[in-house]
Structure 1
Amino acid sequence: MTKEQTTADGFPYTLERVLEAPVAAVWNAWTTADSYTQWSYAAPGTVEMDVRPGGAWKSTMVTPDGTKVPLTGSYAEVEVDRRLVVGMDVPGQDAQALMTVELAEQGAGGTRITVTQTCDTAEQRDMAEQGTTMLLDSLTAFLKTAA
């Protein structure tokens, strides 16, 4: 499927990486406010997480140019050390944008992380994919220093 093609479900993307950290460390980085703040471009003191199905989260992301973007949402699915489905509130839309993070053991002490999301437009997909790539780059660097 090329970037210009779509399905009836919208404009999906999938990113996959192998991280040099155990599954539990990757899960902790995604689900603990202190750890998440260190790698997710969140402003210090703005991350709140109630990691359970239906639990809310919020943070304020700081873009490379210094713009602060408040984000809110909830967790649709939580399977510890395996799967996290994160809903993000989108202004002007009733339904949340959902991003799925799946973790699997990879080799000795490694983790395969797969992030998927379906967006309403190609432009939204491209922006979301770029943002997720930046997050995965930062997570990779964080896990190397946290080890």
Structure 2
Amino acid sequence: MTGTGFEYTLTRTLDAPVDQVWAAWTTADRYAQWTGAEDVTFDVRPGGAWSSVMVIPGGARIPLSGTYTEVVPHQRLVWGMTVPGREEPVLMTLDLSADGDRTKVTLSQTFDAAEERDQAEQGSNMLLDSLTNYLATA
């Protein structure tokens, strides 16, 4: 992620080994379990496509898609998401760092406007909450 704009970075340490956290982000059926997404397809490699339909509270269905730009197994995942009205995809970066049986997770994104950033940051916090709950019962 380069450029200027409005960025957020979220960091959490999860009570799960890095391989479990990696699998939660990169295995379609596991991702669907903790995000509540439907119709999830992943081709986790640079240039590989992904898609899902997020079901948000209230039942609205939001189709999402994009491509992976960087994949370093068990360490780093960077993917773009196609956003209507934008020429360039919005990139999200996930960095993982093993700490024994725990994993430090860092999510970051950059946006052109503060409002976009704030909405994405709220959504990412909700994702990390869901991931934390999923891993506690996995």
Q: Do these two structures clear the TM 0.5 threshold for a shared fold by scoring above it?
A: yes
Partner of 1:47, secondary structure, is strand
Stretches of structure 1 lacking an aligned partner (at least 5 in a row): 1-7
User: Does structure 1 residue 35 correspond to structure 2 residue 30?
Assistant: yes
Instruction: Give the CA deviation at 1:94.
Output: 1.5
Partner of 2:45, secondary structure, is coil
Q: TM-score, normalised by structure 2?
A: 0.96
User: Does structure 1 residue 15 correspond to structure 2 residue 7?
Assistant: no
> What's 1:110 paired with?
102
Query: 2:46 and 2:35 mapped to 1: Cα distance?
Result: 21
Query: 1:53 and 1:111 mapped to 2: Cα distance?
Result: 23
Instruction: Give the CA deviation at 1:86.
Output: 1.1
Partner of 1:90, secondary structure, is coil
Partner of 1:78, secondary structure, is strand
Between the two proteins, the alignment pairs up a number of residues equal to 136
Query: 1:86 and 1:142 mapped to 2: Cα distance?
Result: 22
Report the identity percentage. Answer: 57
> What's 1:80 paired with?
73
Q: TM-score, normalised by structure 1?
A: 0.91
> What's 1:52 paired with?
45
Richer in strand (by share): 2
Stretches of structure 2 lacking an aligned partner (at least 5 in a row): none
